[in-house]
Each structure stands twice: as structure tokens, then as C-alpha cells.
Amino acid sequence: MATTALCTLIRHTSAFTPVARQASASLTSSSPPPSSTSRRIIHSLSSSTKSSPSFQSWQSSLFSTTEEIDPGIVEGTNLQVLKYPHPSLRAPNEEIPMEDLTGPGSEISLIAKEMFLVMYATQGVGLAAPQVGINKRLMVYNESGDPKKWMQESIMVNPKIVEFSEAKEWDEEGCLSFPDMGGDVERSKWIKVEAQNLKGKTVKKKFRGWEARIFQHEYDHLDGMVYIDRLTEDGRKEVQPKLDEFIAVFGEGGAI
């Protein structure tokens, strides 16, 4: 298996709280993203609020209770997390031909299965094939991030977004390929999507809210984009010193 990478949406404390989600939803496309100060205020919930039954119930209904981790070597697969600026994150991604889709025993099916293993090991919710060094238009996700809820798993082959909502919202995103970083990204509130399943059948879906954000984040990877490409000018300046560190560590041959 090719050398691999993983990059998933980071579920910061703000994303877990109803207060933060409500604040984020109120930010329209004409509104600037919240300042670092306001994000810190949102993050600074009291321990009593975080431990309340109502908070925990709301949190666990959408997300896992921990942030993503770098698991290193994952049992059952050779796929591992790659860090920016690995060229795989910027390389063109080929469409998967129909003859490669033969159901559960196909190579694409096996790749998707291993992608789920890595995704769950990182406690993430989505993963695109180029993030694991496979430059094909394939993505997997499970909005719950819970391997026990396998009925919520989705494998999408050659996906495309056919319609975006005009209404947009800001929320904080991050990526395992960019450790200890995050930034506010503007996304459409809903999208309409077409893709193929493992049997080659065309599927059509409409995603809203959190699930729409997951899909848009992973879909960007299929076009060689990463979340830092969507940061505001100020947001990019804020993380640039960290990006410079990654570039220096990677050395020659990185794709910036």
C-alpha cells in the first residue's frame, strides 16, 4: 500500500456546545469569523456545564467525546497519517472506472474498509483517499465517528457537489495533517450530492449542517485543497508560523 495520510475535522470544545453551534450558525457569508478572543470565551465553559446530563446527551448525539488523535500504526492496515506538505495532499485525483466497482470484494471496497479503520483509530468522522496516498476520487465518512454505528457509514465513489446553498456559515475546522492547528472556515449550510456506490449505482443525497460540512471538507481533498486554503487572510497569518515549521521538517519536495 502507498504511503498514506489522514486529515479530519477536529471537533473542538466549541463544536460540542449548543452555545457555540448557535453562535456559528448566526454568522452569515457577510459576517467575519469570530475572533480568537470570542472563540476562547466559547471554549471556556464551566466544568459544571460540561458535566451536566443535558450537555453530555447533546454532545454524544453528534460527536465523539474526544478530539482526534494520531494513532501511528493501525492494526489491519498499512495506512498512516501524513503531515503537510506531503505531495499526496495536492496531487490530481483520478475518477474510478466502473469496471473497478464489483461490490464488497473489489479493490476499492478493501481500500474503503482500511480507510474506515484509520478514520476510527483517529477518532475522526471522515477521510478522503488522497489523504491516504491514494489519488482517486473516493471518500468515506460516518458522522457519529463511532465504529459501533456502522449503519451510518457512507462510501462515496466519484462524488460531486451539484448544488450549494446560498446561505453559508462559519465554524472551526482542523486537520490531522496540520497538528495543533485550527481555523474558521466558511461552508454552505446545505449541499446536493451525486456519487456512485460500490456497485456502481448512482446515489443522490442532500446534506445539511454538520454532515454537509464533513462532506465539503473531504470533497476539497479530492480537488487537491486543504482547509488552510479557505482561511481568511488573518486566519492564514495566524497559522503561518506553524506551517513554516511543517515545511522545514518535511524538507525538499513538499507541496505547499
Catalytic residues: 218
Cα(64)–Cα(70) distance, rounded to whole angstroms?
15
* CA-to-CA separations, 189 to 131, 182, 186, 233, in angstroms, rounded: 24, 20, 9, 22
Nearest partner of 127 among 74, 165, 164, judged by Cα: 74
Alpha helices in the chain (DSSP H): 13-16, 18-25, 36-43, 47-51, 53-62, 107-121, 209-222, 233-250
Grid cell for residue 93: 485525483
Q: Which positions ≥6 away from 175 have C-beta within 8 Å?
A: 7, 8, 9, 10, 84, 181, 226, 227
| Number of Cβ within a 10 Å radius of residue 210 | 17
Cα(169)–Cα(201) distance, rounded to whole angstroms?
32
| Number of Cβ within a 10 Å radius of residue 182 | 21
Nearest partner of 149 among 214, 208, 62, 213, judged by Cα: 62
Grid cell for residue 138: 473516493
Laid out side by side, the sheet with 202-208 consists of 126-128, 138-141, 154-164, 190-196, 202-208
Cα(81)–Cα(153) distance, rounded to whole angstroms?
21
